[in-house]
Amino acid sequence: MNLREKTIKSEKIYEGRVISMSVDTVITPGGNEATRELIHHPGGVGVVAIDSDNMVYLVEQYRIPYDDILLEIPAGKLDGKGEDPVKAAERELSEETGLSADELIYMGDFYPSVGFLDENLRMFMASGLHQGDTHPDEDEYLNIVKMPFDKAIDMVLRGEIKDGKTIAALLKAKLIREKNL
């Protein structure tokens, strides 16, 4: 069975600084008309930065949708759909932690919420780290948290790290390192 839907109409209902929203009318594989509400995002990057002492660098940041301070990997949005994800990963790592890396290993893509959001987050693992100065965005406030990589994995398994991209990236980095890929 062909599972693709065909968009027959798309109405943009919101254009913001980071996202836009549309309501699309589609024809389903069964031939019926249906409505899809979509959020469009330029995409982003996330970096698991692990130093030679097996310490991982995370950031604490307040997230208003959950009214909570979350522990996350350094991450951020692409500056437009055309930005090179490697350059964006280098930028975000430097901005949020002050780190630069000798090596960035691409770990794959992560789709955070496939039912209504088209964001594609590219995940990287950084090694050969060098410390510099942080320079977060003007409206970005965060704390850098350095901890043993295995402790971060344990925090994921206990449900103490709740951010989806961070969970996926940390677990993927663990498996890649174990398999020496």
**Half-sphere exposure at residue 40, Cβ-oriented, CA atoms within 13 angstroms:** 16
Coil, helix or strand at residue 111:
coil
| Residue 138: active-site member | yes
The Cα-based distances of 61 to 72, 96, 106, 139, 149 in angstroms read: 8, 11, 24, 12, 19
CB 109 within 8 A of CB 122: yes
Going by DSSP bridges, is the β-strand pair 75-77/121-131 parallel, antiparallel, or unpaired? unpaired
**Inter-helix orientation angle 164-179/149-157, to 10°:** 130
Return d(Cα 4, Cα 122) in angstroms, integer.
24
Question: 94 φ, ψ to 5°?
Answer: -65, -45
Q: Which of 5, 15, 83, 138 is catalytic?
A: 138
Phi, psi angle pair for 163, to nearest 5° = -70, 125
Known catalytic residues?
138
